[in-house]
Structure 1
Amino acid sequence: MVVIRLARKGAKKRPFFNIVVADQRYKPEGRYIERLGFYNPVARGKEELIRLERERVQHWIAQGAQMSARVANIVKQWDEKNAAA
């Protein structure tokens, strides 16, 4: 099954996550099919918290990909931020 999930990057105590489309059998930090954006939970000041290619997320969901619970929350947060803008 194809899933949309987070792949952890960054340094120790300074996490950074890529939002990726991957086969469920791949390791979370391993191979992926496509990178859809990123999530920076420790963003400060003018740093960007979330960047997401929403059209590609919709494309993969239409193809049958399942979002992880955390990614679903991030997408919801991104939608609320962009609806207000």
Structure 2
Amino acid sequence: MSVSLRLNRKGTKDRPYYKIVAVDSRKRRDGRYIEQIGTYDPMLEGTNYQIDLEKADKWLSVGAKPSETVNSFIRKARTAEAK
């Protein structure tokens, strides 16, 4: 089973928000996921994401592949944590 870290869309038309999840890569975008590791709300200003780096590192260590967007959130969270 190939696991990926990607966004799962929730909300309504014109008011989206996303869950950052670990999911079997063969599942559809909004299908059942294994574990939620964070959230992303594009409607907020400033820092509009939250991610649990411990959970993300756990999934990355077992071979999960992050999407480009999730990878950028992880990089931003690590640089913010280092400061």
The normalised TM-score by structure 1 is 0.86
Residue 57 (structure 1) aligned with residue 48 (structure 2): no
Q: How many residues align?
A: 82
**Letter in structure 1 aligned against 2:81:** N
Q: Percent identity?
A: 35
The aligned residue for residue 10 of structure 1 is 11
For the residues of structure 2 that align with 1:6 and 1:16, how far apart are their CA atoms?
Answer: 9
Give the aligned partner of residue 79 of structure 2: 80
- In the alignment, the residues of structure 2 paired with residue 79 and residue 42 of structure 1 have an alpha-carbon distance, to the nearest angstrom, of 23
Structure 2, unmatched stretches of 5+, are none
How much has 1:78 moved relative to structure 2? 2.2
SS of residue paired to 2:43: coil
Using structure 2 for the length normalisation, give the TM-score: 0.88
- Residue of structure 1 in register with 2:43 after alignment: 42
After superposition, the CA RMSD in angstroms is 1.5
Report the Cα offset of residue 41 of structure 1: 1.1
CA drift at 1:59: 0.4
Unaligned runs of 5+ in 1: none
